[in-house]
Structures are given as C-alpha cells and as structure tokens.
Amino acid sequence: MTAVIHHHGSRGTTPLVLLHAFPLDARMWDEVIALLPRQHIIAVDLPGFGESAASADPQGPTLESMADAVATALTEAGVDRAVFAGLSMGGYVAMALAERHREMITGLALLSTKAAADPPAARETRLEVARQAMGTEGAGAVAAMVDKLVGLTTTGTRPRVRAQVSTWLSEAPPHGIAGAQRAMAARPDRHQVLAGLQVPALVVHGAEDALATADDHDRMADQLGVDVMTLNGAGHLCAVEVPAEVAVALADLMGRAGH
Ligand code: MLT
C-alpha cells in the first residue's frame, strides 16, 4: 500500500506534512498551502484517496498501515523528520504515526479530531456506510456529510466553499470510503501516545464543529500540555473554511519546532 505525496515550496528544509480528512484528499489543503509559500510542505493523499490506490489487502487498510505508508513515502523521498498536521481522519493517522514512528515527529498539529476510540454505535454506523459505499450508493453514501463537515457560518456566508466540499464528496472513491470507515471503526484510544510526546504541539477546534467536540479537543490538549485554539466561524473542516487562521497557526508551530 502506498501514499502519494505532493511537494510544495523549496525542498531541503524540514517539511510540514499535511494529512487530510475523510473522505477528501490532499486538495483540501490547497488554500493553506498557498498562504505558506516559504515553507516546504508535503500534502499526502492517504491510501484509497486522491492519487493513492486503495489497499490491495482484502482486510483493507488500517490507520496503522496508513501511517506506515506515509512514513515509507516520506523516507523514500529523503524526509526523515517533519512537523505533522492532521485534520480529523488525518489526525487519527498522525496519532498512529506518533505511536509507530515517533522519531520522525518534530511537531504535531491536531485539528478537528479526537484521541478517543469510537463507541459501539458509531462503529456500527461506520460499517454501514462502508457497506453502502460498496453497494449501489457509491459516493452517494457520504453526500449528506456536507452538513456536518462545514459550519453554519460557512453554509450561510461562503456558499462556494460548501459547494466545493459537496463536489469533493461526490468524487470520493467507494473503495477509499469503505476502507477508511472500517479503519476508523477499529482505531484504539491514543491519549497515552499524546502524553508521551515531547514536541511542540497545536490543537485546533472549529467552534461550529458538529463532529468533534470541545471536550475531545480539551482532552488531547491536556495530554500535549497546550491550550486549545478555538476558531470562530469555522466547523469541522476549519482548514478549508478559514484557511488564513489555520495557516498562521501552522506557521507559528513550524517556528516553535525550529523550522
Ligand atoms: C473526517 O473528517 O475525517 C471524519 O469526520 C472523521 C470521522 O469520521 O471520525
């Protein structure tokens, strides 16, 4: 299983590696990347999304195998250390990376995500979405997610952003949807992984997030020893909704990490 990576900016410095949300791909970071022209940034297509093929393993990918695929792609590109920023599913992959490849991480940003495992009902819902995606619905299985991904402010005042997210959802590959839902359903609690990390960190929560709660963010921030940055006027996809605020926060993290 491989993860395709996209380089931006001048190579040679320690990069910022961006890990996208479910069921999107590296394109969700385009606005943030455009606002950080001096950074070396690597945007990842996680397995099953964007230019990355779905896992050939009949069991599908796990968050751990996705993390290993990212680590391998970076190592093959000559990158042995980076600041990682993961939004939602990207955050789950970043936490699996922190568990399995801690030596690669010089800074960590977790946006709109959680370190807790899913309760049983949420797991069941994920498995049902996986079945729907592989059945007759295809990408239609995730179409209604737009209401949860963008906040009320975006729905009311940024119709083009909401329309873009709907387009991305309609393009989501069914195998990617199914594999990622099963992978997320199986993820363990990773608060202890965060407690053991001794790197500069950032935790970002959109005030209108309908999928990850303030408590989810407080608990991660407590383990990392930082305060939560709350972004008003943003929902779950804060990096797409308010990219300027997210870019400033990531640039500050890069500075704190010494890059
Ligand atoms: C995401 O945005 O990546 C998803 O909401 C993650 C999830 O379903 O937990």
Q: What is the pLDDT of residues 93-136, one digit of tens each?
A: 999 999 999 999 999 999 999 999 999 999 999 999 999 999 99
Task: Name the residue of 44, 45, 89, 217 whose CB sits within 8 Å of the most ligand 1 atoms, as the mutation to test its pocket.
Answer: 89
**Cα–ligand 1 centroid distance for 20 (angstroms):** 10
What does the DSSP assignment read for 229-246?
EEETT--TTHHHHSHHHH
Q: Does pTM surpass 0.85?
A: yes
**Cα–ligand 1 centroid distance for 222 (angstroms):** 21
Q: What is the pLDDT of residues 46-70, one digit of tens each?
A: 999 999 998 787 778 999 999 999 9
| 3-class DSSP assignment, residue 180 | helix
d(CA 129, CA 40): 36
Query: Is the C-beta atom of 22 inside 6 A of ligand 1?
Result: yes
Tell me which residue has tokens 């993961």.
86
Query: Is the C-beta atom of 211 inside 6 A of ligand 1?
Result: yes
Query: Is the C-beta atom of 185 inside 6 A of ligand 1?
Result: no
- pLDDT at position 11, please? 86
